[in-house]
Structure 1
Amino acid sequence: MVKNIILVCGALITLISCNQYKTKDVWTYPKLDPSPKIKEYFGTKVLDDYHQLSNLQDTAVQDWFNAQDSLAEAYFLNNELLEQYRDRFYGLQNRIVGDVSMVRISESGSYFYLKYDELKEADVLFYKKNFSEQEMEIYDPSKRYPDNPIISYLAPSYDGKKIAIGFDSMEDFTTKVIIYDLEEKTILKEEISNINPDFGGIEWLPDSSGFIYLYFPNIDLTKPNYKQNSYSVIHFLGDNPNRRTAIFGKEESYKITSDSYPKIKTGSSLDNYIIAYAAKSGDFYDSFIANTIDVLSDIPNWKPFFTTTERIYYNQGEIRGKHFIYRRATPDGNEICQVDIEDANFSNPLILAKGSRENPITKFEVTKDYIYFVKEKYGVEISLFKIDENNNEGQLTLPFVPGYASFFGESITHNDIGLGLDGWTSDYVRYCIDSIGNIAKEGLYKTASIPDYENLVYKQVMVVSHDGEEVPLSLIYRNDLEWDSNNEVFINVYGAYGVSMNPFFSPIFLDWVEQGGILAFPHVRGGGEKGREWHLQGMKGLKSNSWKDLISCTEYLIENGYAKNGLLSLYTNSAGGITGGMAVNERPELFSSFIAEVPRMHPLGLESSTSSSSTSYMEYGTIKDSLEFLGLLKMDPYLNLKSDTEYPATLIMPSSSDDRIPLWDSAKYIAKLQANNTANTPALMDIDYESGHENSAGYDAEIETYARIFSFAKTNMQH
C-alpha cells in the first residue's frame, strides 16, 4: 500500500491520547465542512451532505483523502496486535518454494501452472506436456517485467502450443496480455491491451490460430463513457494487435446497449458453432450464434439464439456436437436441459436433471460421453452426479463431505475430468475421475504444513428471520468452547448477485477460531443458497431482506449464548457493503465493529452518477423508475446514517483504482459517519492505492490486509 507519510505523526498523537485517556473528543478527524446538494426524484428530495467528494480531481478533496488514509496508517502503527497477526498469518500461509497456483489444462492435456520462487519472490510459469511428464520452466516474468512480475491470468490454446499470459497494471482497469509460443520458446510480437479478463478474457479459436477478446475502447476512469461501448475483436496470431477487427458488438441491428459487454464464448476445438452474449449484471443474457467457419473467415452471420426469457444461466451452456446443453432456472429450482442447435426449441427441451430450491444444481461440465454436475444444499453441502451416454443419472461417492467443488480439465474431446474439493476446515484437494466414476487424488499440489483442525466443529443452523423465512447460518468453533456468552464472533456476510457464501478453506480465517473465537457466515437473501428465488428476495425493493436476515442471525447468536453485545465484529466486501452497512444503521448496538473492503456504501449515488458505466441497476434498481428509486433510497447506507448515534468502530477499506465502485462512494459514508457518530469509537478509511476492485497487489499485500482486518476486529471487542 502506498501511503501518505506527511500527516502520520500528527495523527499518531491523537491515537496515543485516545489510548491513554479514552475521552470522547480525542478522535479529531481531517476537517471537512458539509457541502450539501439536494436532488429531487419523483417528488422526493434527497440530501447529499458531502457532494463535494464526488470531484476526485479536486486537490482539496485529494488532500482530505490523504489525511484520512494517514489517520488509518497512524492507527495501525500504534496497534500492538497488528504485528502479532502479521507474524501468525505469514506462518499459517506457509508459502514455500514450489507452491503451485493457477493451474490450467489445455484440451490436449498439457498442464500450465505457477510455482513460487523464493529468491525472485515471484511466481514462475511451468509446463508439463501431460501430467506424467517432467515439468519445464517456460517463463520467468521478473526478467521482462521486474517492476510488476505478478501473473494474474493464464489461458492456454486448445492444442496446448500457445498460452496467453496476463499482467495486472495495478492502478489501471485493463490487463496486459502476451502470448508465449511453446514450440518456438519465445514471446510473440503481439501485446494485447484494453482487455480485462474479469469481464471477458482470451477465447481461443477452435483451430488455435488466434483468439477473440472483449475490447474496451474507453478506459479513462474520469470520462463519462468509461468502460462503455466495448466490443469483441478477433485476432489471428501474427497480425497487428492494434488493427482490432470487430467480430461482435458494433452492429446496430443487434441493439446491444452501450453499457452491456458483447462477448464471445468458445468451448472446444470441435465446436462447429460459436456463441456470443450481450453480457450485463444479472443471471440471464440475450445470446447469438454463428457458424465457426464464418467466424474464422471474419464474416459471421450472428443469429438470435436464446433470450433472457428462457432463463438460461449465462455461464452454464456447452456445445457438444449438434446439441446445446445448458442450465436454466425454473419456478421450483433449476434444470440441466438439451436442445438441438439447428432446431432449438427452448420451450420444450430434453430435461436431463433437476435441482430444487433447497438443493439446486449450481454447476455442470460436459465431457465426450458424460455430464457431471454438482448440487449444493443451502450452499454448503456438496453432492456430485454423473449423467451417462444414455442419459441415466447416478450419484458419485466423494472422499469426504465437501463444502465446495469445482471442475477442471474437461473437454468434449475426451472423458477425463478433474474435481477440486474443499470446505470450511478441509484444505483444497484435486482429484481425477475416470470413465467408470473412480476418484483418485491428482497429486500436483504439494501438501503444506498447516495446523490440524480436527478440534474444530462446523454446524449449520436455521434462523427464523423477520418474516418467518428460515435463513441458514454456518458456524465454526472449537469443540472445547465455553458457552458463557463471552465468545468473540467474526461475522462474514455478502448477500448479492445470487452468489452463495460457499465454504472456503483459509488458515487465516480459522486462526480466529483457534484463538478461541467463532466464525459465523449468515447465508442471507440476495445470495444463491436456496436457488434463484433466494436471490430475487434480496434484490431491488426487497433488498431489506438481506440486512434483516443478517440482524436476525446476529440476534440468534446473542439469544442462544454464543456471544453478547459488544463481542460481534461484522465483515463484508463489495456489494455486501449494502447488507452490512444497513444492518449497522438499523441496529448499531449489535456490533462491536464494522469492517468493509471495497464496499458499495452509496448505491443511489452510483446509479445517478453521470460517469456510471455499470449495469448494476439490474441488481439494485434504477433512478429512472419511481419504485426502484425508493428501493435505492431505502438501501443506501450513506443516506440512511443517523445523526447523534453511537456507531461501532468502523474500518472502510476502498481502493483508489476501483473500476466498479468509485472512491467517493466510501468517502461520503466515512465523512458523514465521523460527523454523526457520538460513540468513542474510531471511524477510519484505509485507502489501497495499488490494487483495484479484485486485483491483489501480491502475497504480502494480502497478508497485510487481513492482519489489519482481524487486528481491528480484535482490538475493538468490548468485554
Structure 2
Amino acid sequence: MRAIVPRLLAASLFVAFAAHAATPQPPSTPKRMVSETLAGQPVNDPYRWLENPGAPDVTKWIEAQNAYTEAAIGAMPLGKTLSARIRELSITSTTRSSPTLAGGTLFYFENTPPQPQPVLVAKAWPDGETRTLVDLNKGDGNTAITAYWPSPSGRYLAYGTAEGGSELTTIHILDTKTGKPLGDELPFAGGGTTPQALAWDADEKGVIYARFDAPTASKPLREFDAYLAHHVIGEPVAKDRIVFGKGYSHVAEYILMEGEGGKSTALLANEGDGGPAEVYLREGEGQFKRVLGHDADVRSASWIGDRLYVVTFAGAPRGKIVAIGADGKTVDVLAEGEGAIQHVTPLGDGFLVVRSAGPDWWADQYDAKAGFVRRVPLPATGVAIGGVASEKGQDKALISYAGWTTPTHWAEYDGASGSLKTIFEVKPAADYSKVRVSRVEGTSKDGSKIPVTVIAMDGITPNGKRPTILYSYGGFGIPVTPGFVGPNLAWLERGGVLAYANIRGGNEFGEAWHEQGQKLRKQNVFDDFYAASQALIDTKWTDTGHLGILGGSNGGLLMGAALTQHPEQYRAVVGAVGIYDVPRHETAFANGPYNVSEYGSVADPAIAKAMLAYSPLHNVKKGTKYPAVLLTTGANDPRVAPWQSRKFAAALQDASTSGQPVLLLTRMNAGHGIGAPFSQRVGNQALSMTFFATELGLGE
C-alpha cells in the first residue's frame, strides 16, 4: 500500500452524473452465512459470496449498486455546478514533477491539463531545450508511466508502463539522443504489491530490475516472491539471470540505487510494507553483500560521493545518518537532531537533509564533514518539500516544493552562496490569496497532541456549523503533508472548511510516531482522528451535523473505523479503495501479506483479537444510525480488493436506521488510483464534493 496517499477529494475514480432521481432504497443483498472461529471468537460473514467478482450474481449486484449511486448523485443539486468549477480550477498551466539529474541532463514529468497523462521529458541542465521522450496520450489515456530510470550518463532511459490502473509494469528502454526505443521490453516488473526497482550497469549495457516469475498455462501470475534479475540490452528476456532474491521473502520489496557512475549498487530490501529495510552493497558485477540488518531500522538512503548515507532510526526516533563504505563498515555522520529526517541528497562536497515536524518541513545544508552550513531559505511553514535533484560535485540543486496556497515551485538552490532562485512555477487557474491557514490541536485518548491544519477563505470564521471535511491517513509511515488546495477552492469559496490531521501511523514526527500506529497499537490511529475531529468542534469550526470525513486506502480503513466507533460524530463519510474486513485482507487477497509488517498477522492470536476489535466490517451493528456514506473502489485494484468495499457497503445498508444514504461506486476500468487519467481525477473530485455539499449543507 506504500505511496498511495489519496489527497483530499483527489482519488482516481470517475462517475458520470445521472439525471434521474435516486431510488428510495439501495439494492437488496442476500445473506449467505459463512461461520468460522478467529482468535477464539465466532465470526459470521453473510457477505463472503461478494468476494467473487466473476460470479454472475456479483456482477449484477455491482451494476445495481452503480446505478443506485449514479442516480443518487445525479439528484444532488450542486453536482453540475461543482463539476464545472472543479474542472475549471484543474486546468492550470503546465505542471512538472519527479525531477532527476543524470549526466548533466534533467529528466522529469510534464503535464498540461486536460492532457490525460504526463509526458516524460529531458533537457540539458540548466538551460537546454526541452525534448519529449515518452508520450502515452495518443490512446485512451489509461496507459500510465509508472516510473523511470536514466542511465548514469543520461544517454539511455528505462521507463515502466501499466494499463487500466492495474500497476503491473512492463519496462521499456530508449536512446535519449535519438528518442528511439531499443526494443527491450521487460514484463512483470513489479507494480501494485511490490514496487518497481531498477539500476544500470556502469557500462550502460545492462540493468538489474525487480520482477515476478512469468505466468504459464499451468501457473497463473502470482505477485509474490519478487527477485532481482540482470538483463543485457538487446538480449531476449529469457536469458535474464537472477542476481538476488530467490527465496529472500514471499513479500519482498526492493529499492535499488546506483553509486557514482554505476560502479556500485545499493539495495534496500524489505519484507512487506511499513517495516525497516536490510541494506546490501554490490561492487561492480559482484554479489550483493548485506551490511545492515533489520535491527538498524533503516528507512531511506542515498549515495553521497562514494559512500552510502543511510538514515537509521535505531536508538534515534527522529533519525540519524551513518555512512557505509565499500568495505561495508559504518561510520556515524550526523546525530539525531531537530525534526524527523525524511531523506538526504548530495550537494557539492556535502549534502542536504530534508526534515519535518508535523506539518512543517525544511531542508538543512551540511558540508563534507557534516558541519551545519545553513537552512535553505524556503517558506518556514505551510509547504512540503518534494523531489530534490542533484549530482555529486555540483553546488546547485533543484528543489521542488508546494504548499496549501502555493502550487508546485522548482527552485535552484546554490549551496555556495545560499541563494534560492525560482526557475519554474505552476500558474493556478484562480486567485488563492484570500485562502487562510490556521491550526488547532486535539488531545488523543493517551494524551498525545494531534496537530490539525484548518483551511478557509478570508472572512470565514468559526460559527459552530461550518461544512467541514477532515482528512487523514495514519499508516505505513506516510506523512500528511501540505499540498496545494487547487480544485478544492470550489469547496472553500462557498464557505466550506478543509482540515488535515497529522495522526500517528505517519512519520511526520519520526519513526516512533509511525510505530505507535502499527499492529497492536493501531487503535491509537483511530483515537487520534477522533481527537482531531473533536478539536474542530471544540474550537467552534463545526459541529457533528456539518462534519464530513474522507480517506483512502489505509485511510479508507480509518474512515471505516471512525464511522463504526463514533457514528454520532460525523454527518458524512467518503472512503476510497479502503480496507474494511481487516482479517480477510491478509488471508484472501494478494497484497494482504505485504501489509503484515504494518498491521500484524491474524496468525497471532493477540493481533487477531485486536483486528476484530477495530475491523470496520466486524463492528457494524444492526439498528445503528450511521452517517451518510459513499464508498468508491476500482475493479482492477491490486492493492486493496474491491470486495472490501462491497461487503462493507452491504453491511451498512442492512444495518443503518438513520435514513441517510449508503452508496457504493465501482469503477470498472480503474485501480487503486496510480496513473489515473485527468478525467478520472476530476470526476472523482466532483463526485466526492457533490456528496459532501449535499450532506453537509454547503451554501449555494
Question: Could you tell me the TM-score, scaled by structure 2's length?
Answer: 0.91
Q: Structure 1 residue 615 and structure 2 residue 594: aligned?
A: yes
Q: Distance in 2 between matches of 1:532 and 1:262?
A: 20
Shift of 1:201: 3.2
Alpha-carbon distance, 1:718 to partner: 5.4
**CA distance, structure 1, for counterparts of residue 198 and residue 602 of structure 2:** 35
Distance in 1 (alpha carbons) for counterparts of 2:113 and 2:449: 48
Question: What residue in structure 2 maps to residue 422 of structure 1?
Answer: 402
Aligned-pair CA distance for 1:635? 2.0
CA contact (8 A) 1:248 1:276 kept: no
Secondary structure class of the residue paired with 2:559? helix
- Corresponding residue to 1:705 among 665, 684, 689: 684
- The code of the aligned residue for 1:86 comes to S
Quote the residue 1:336 is aligned against: 320
Letter matched to residue 316 of structure 1: A
1:73 aligns with 2:70: yes
- Paired residue for 1:18? none
State how far apart, in whole Å, the 2-side matches of 1:525 and 1:123 are.
33
Q: Deviations over 1:445-470 (max 9, x none)?
A: 4x414333232221222211222221
2:288 is the alignment partner of 1:302: yes
Distance 1:415 1:673 in 2: 58
Alignment partner of 1:186 out of 172, 177, 180? 180
Q: Distance in 2 between matches of 1:672 and 1:84?
A: 33
Task: From 356, 371, 395, give the equivalent of 1:376.
Answer: 356
Paired residues of 2:567 and 2:627 also in contact (CA < 8 A):
yes
Cα distance change of structure 1 residues 574 and 123 upon mapping to structure 2, 3 Å threshold:
closer
Partner of residue 298, structure 2: 312
2:6 aligns with none
> How far 1:488 sits from its partner (Å)?
0.9
- 1:405 corresponds to 2:382: no
Q: Which residue pairs with 1:549 in the alignment?
A: 528
For 1:275, the equivalent position in structure 2 comes to 267
Match of 1:614, SS state, is helix
Q: Return the offset for 1:50.
A: 0.9
Judged with a 3 Å threshold, the aligned counterparts in structure 2 of structure 1 residues 185 and 587 are, in CA distance, closer, same or farther, namely closer
Provide the residue aligned with 2:347 in structure 1. Answer: 367
- CA offsets per residue over residues 295-319 of structure 1, 9 Å max, x none? xxxxx32322111101121x32435
Q: Say which is worse superposed, 511-520 or 190-199, in terms of deviation.
A: 190-199
Q: Separation in 1 of the partners of 2:104 and 2:453?
A: 38
Residue 56 (structure 1) shift? 2.2
Query: What is aligned with 2:309?
Result: 325
**Percent of aligned pairs with the same residue?**
21
| Structure-2 change in CA distance of 1:277 and 1:4 (3 Å) | closer
Please, which moves more after superposition, 683-692 or 608-617? 608-617
After the TM superposition, which residues 231-310 of structure 1 pair with which residues of structure 2 at under 5 Å, given as runs?
A: 231-250=227-246, 252=247, 256-262=248-254, 264-269=256-261, 271-275=263-267, 277-292=269-284, 294=285, 300-310=286-296
Report the Cα offset of residue 42 of structure 1: 3.4
Matches of 1:73 and 1:133, distance apart in 2: 49
1:485-523 deviation per Cα after TM superposition (whole angstroms, max 9, x unaligned): 121111111111121111111312233222211111121
Paired residues in the alignment total: 683
Superposed CA offset, 1:55-95 (max 9, x none) = 22211112111211221122223233222122111211224
- Conservation of the 8 A alpha-carbon contact between 2:395 and 2:416: no
Does residue 57 (structure 1) correspond to residue 57 (structure 2)? The answer is: no
> Which residue matches 1:519?
498
Report the secondary structure of 2:667's partner residue. Answer: coil
For 1:394 and 1:429, locate their aligned partners in 2 and report how far apart those are by CA, in whole Å: 23
In the other structure, the counterpart of 2:158 is 164
Which residue number in structure 1 is paired with residue 9 of structure 2? none
Say whether 1:154 aligns with 2:148: yes
Contact kept? 2:15, 2:684, Cα under 8 Å: no
Contact kept, 8 Å, 2:506 with 2:513, in 1: the verdict is yes
- Quickly say closer, same or farther: Cα 1:218–1:238, change in 2 above 3 A: closer
Kindly provide the CA deviation profile for residues 621-675 of structure 1, in whole angstroms up to 9, marking residues without a partner as x.
1111111111111121011111101111101011111111111111110000000
2:41 corresponds to: 44
Q: Structure 2, unaligned stretches of length 5 or more?
A: 1-11
The corresponding residue for 2:79 is: 82
Q: Is the 8 A contact 2:190 2:226 kept in 1?
A: no
Contact 2:352 2:364 in 1 (8 A): yes
Whether the aligned pair in 1 keeps the contact of 2:548 and 2:573 (CA below 8 Å) is: yes
2:124 corresponds to: 129
1:206-245 mapped onto 2 (5 Å cutoff)? 206-217=202-213, 226-245=222-241
* SS in structure 1 of the partner of residue 646 of structure 2: helix
Q: Which one is further off, 116-125 or 656-665?
A: 116-125
Distance in structure 1 (CA, Å) of the matches to 2:617 and 2:255: 35
- Cα distance in 1 for partners of 2:72, 2:593 equals 34
Which SS does the other structure have where 1:487 is aligned?
coil
**Would the alpha carbon gap of residues 675 and 551 (structure 1) be closer, same or farther in structure 2, given more than 3 Å must change?**
same
Which residue is 1:22 aligned to? Answer: none
Give how far 1:692 is off. Answer: 1.5
**Where does structure 1 lack aligned partners over 5 or more consecutive residues?**
16-25, 295-299
2:305 partner amino acid: R
Structure 1 distance, partners of 2:115, 2:537, is: 49
Is the contact between residue 472 and residue 501 of structure 2 (CA under 8 Å) also seen in structure 1? yes
Matched residues in 2 for 1:92 and 1:116: separation?
A: 15
RMSD: 2.8
Pick 1 or 2: higher relative contact order, CA cutoff 8 A, min separation 6. Answer: 2
CA drift of 1:422 comes to: 1.7
Superimposed CA distance per residue, residues 170-228 of structure 1 (whole angstroms, 9 cap, x where no aligned partner): 153412332221334411111222123560233223332222211122679x9897311
CA contact (8 A) 2:353 2:364 kept: yes
Distance across 2 between alignment mates of 1:342 and 1:134: 38
Q: Residue type matched to 1:334 in 2?
A: R
Q: Within the alignment, does 1:535 sit opposite 2:535 as a pair?
A: no
In structure 1, what is the equivalent of residue 643 of structure 2? Answer: 664
Partner letter of residue 212 of structure 1?
I
Contact 2:409 2:424 in 1 (8 A): no
Distance 2:403 2:593 in 1: 33
1:128 and 1:383, CA in 2 relative to 1: closer, same or farther beyond 3 A?
A: closer
CA distance in 2, matches of 1:480, 1:267: 53
Opposite residue 699 of structure 1, the aligned amino acid is: F
- What per-residue deviation string (whole Å, max 9, x for no partner) do you get for residues 113-138 of structure 1? 44456898665444322331223344
Structure 1 residue matching 2:616: 3-state secondary structure: coil
Summarize deviations over 1:248-276 as a string: whole Å, max 9, x none: 112x5xxx222223553324415434435
The structure number with the bigger radius of gyration is 1
- Residue correspondence of structure 1 range 608-687 to structure 2 within 5 A: 608-609=587-588, 611=590, 614-687=593-666
Q: Distance in 2 between matches of 1:469 and 1:163?
A: 47
Q: CA deviation at 1:570?
A: 0.5
User: Which residue in the other structure is 1:435 paired with?
Assistant: 415
Deviations 1:667-716 (A, max 9, x none): 11000000001111111111122222132331111000011011101111
Aligned residue for 1:589, secondary structure, equals helix
**Residue 483 of structure 1, CA deviation:** 2.8
Is 1:594 aligned to residue 573 of structure 2?
yes
Deviations 1:498-557 (A, max 9, x none): 211111113122332222111111211212222222112211121111111111221222
Letter in 1 for 2:50: L
Distance 2:215 2:502 in 1: 35
Aligned equivalents of 2:259, 2:53: Cα separation in 1: 42
The alignment partner of 1:502 has SS state of: coil
3-state SS of the aligned residue for 1:305? strand
Q: Deviations over 1:293-351 (max 9, x none)?
A: x2xxxxx32322111101121x3243532x331111144533332344255455xx424
Aligned residue number for residue 23 of structure 1: none
Aligned partners of 2:214, 2:350: CA distance in 1, in Å? Answer: 42
Name the stretch that deviates more: 232-241 or 649-658: 232-241
Shift of 1:148: 4.8
- SS of residue matched to 1:80: coil
